Structure 1
Amino acid sequence: MTGIKELQTLLANVDPVLDERSFVFCTFPDFNSNDICRLNPIGMFQEKEGVTLIITKQQAIDSHIDYESVYKLISLNVHSSLDAVGLTAAFSAKLAEKNISANVVAAYYHDHIFVPEEKAEQALMAICELQ
C-alpha cells in the first residue's frame, strides 16, 4: 500500500492519537545488543556517540537507566509517504506556535511525535487544528 504524498490530503486526515504511556530517550555509549533485546525499545538510532533508545519511563525506572525528560507519543494515523513534502513542517510549525518541542520519528506508515508529557494534551489539540 502506497502512502499519501499530497499535503492537503494528509492534513485533512492527520487523525492524531495520544499514547497513554510515558517515554524517555536514553543513550548507551557502548553498543550492547543485550540491552536492546531486554528493553525492547519503541525506537532506536545509532549515533557516533552511542545508541539512543526510546523506551517507556517505567522500563527506565525498573532498569535504573538515567533519563532527562519525559515525553508522550502522538501518532498520526494517516498513512503518509516517506516522500511526502510538508507534513513535518506543518505540525512542527503549529507546535512551535504553542511553544511545544517536538521530537519526530518517521516510520514506514506513520509519523510519530514525542512531546513533553506536561504539554501532551495541548499538543494534541494543536495538531487537530491542522485538519
Structure 2
Amino acid sequence: MSGETDLGRLLAGLEPRLDPVEYGFETAAEPPPVGKVFALIREEEGLTVIRPGIGWARITLGVNSSLEAVGLTARVAAALAERGIAANLVAGYHHDHLFVPWEDRQEALAVLRRLHSASRAVSPDPASSAQRRG
C-alpha cells in the first residue's frame, strides 16, 4: 500500500487546498455520465453522486496518505468539530478530500492550515532526522 502512515508526518504534510468549485451531493438510480462527477458511492439504498452543485466546498489534503493510516481522519474531524464545522471525508487512493458547508469553507481552510502549521512546528524534518541517525 503506498502513502504515508505516520500521523506526525501526515499532519506536517497536510497542505490543505480549497477547490473553487461548489459541490452538491445527490442520489441517482443509475450512474450518470462521468463528466464532471467527482465521486460515486454505491450503497444499498442507491448511488450517491458528488459533483458540481450547491452547498459544499471540497478541501483536498495534499499529503499522500495511505488508506491504512490511523488517526488522520480523527484529528482533522476533531479540529473542525471544535469550530462547529461539519465535515464529510472521501478517501481517494492518494489523497483525502473533505467536504464542508460552502459558507464555512474559509474558516475550515484556516483551521486545517493551523493544524498543519502546528504539526510542522513539532515534527522534525524526516530528511534531517535521517542525517542525524546516519
Query: What percent of counterpart residues are identical?
Result: 41
2:6 maps to what in 1?
6
The C-alpha deviation readout for 1:31-62, integer Å capped at 9, x for no partner, is: x24xx2165410111111111100101xxxxx
Matches within 5 A, 1:112-127: 112-127=97-112
1:65 maps to what in 2?
none
How many pairs align?
A: 116
Q: Is the 8 A contact 2:36 2:52 kept in 1?
A: no
2:71 maps to what in 1?
86
Structure 2: 5+ residue stretches without partners:
117-134
2:121 maps to what in 1?
none
Question: Aligned partners of 1:40, 1:23: CA distance in 2, in Å?
Answer: 10
Tell me the secondary structure at the aligned position of residue 100 of structure 1: coil
TM-score (structure 1 length as normaliser) = 0.84
TM-score (structure 2 length as normaliser) = 0.82
Question: Aligned partners of 1:73, 1:56: CA distance in 2, in Å?
Answer: 10
Question: Aligned partners of 2:47, 2:13: CA distance in 1, in Å?
Answer: 34
For residue 91 of structure 1, what is the amino acid of its counterpart?
Answer: V
Tell me the secondary structure at the aligned position of residue 37 of structure 1: coil
Q: Is the 8 A contact 1:39 1:55 kept in 2?
A: no
2:44 maps to what in 1?
48
Deviation at 1:2, TM superposition (A): 2.3
Structure 1: 5+ residue stretches without partners:
58-68
Matches within 5 A, 1:14-53: 14-28=14-28, 30=29, 32-33=30-31, 36-37=32-33, 39-53=35-49
For residue 21 of structure 1, what is the amino acid of its counterpart?
Answer: V
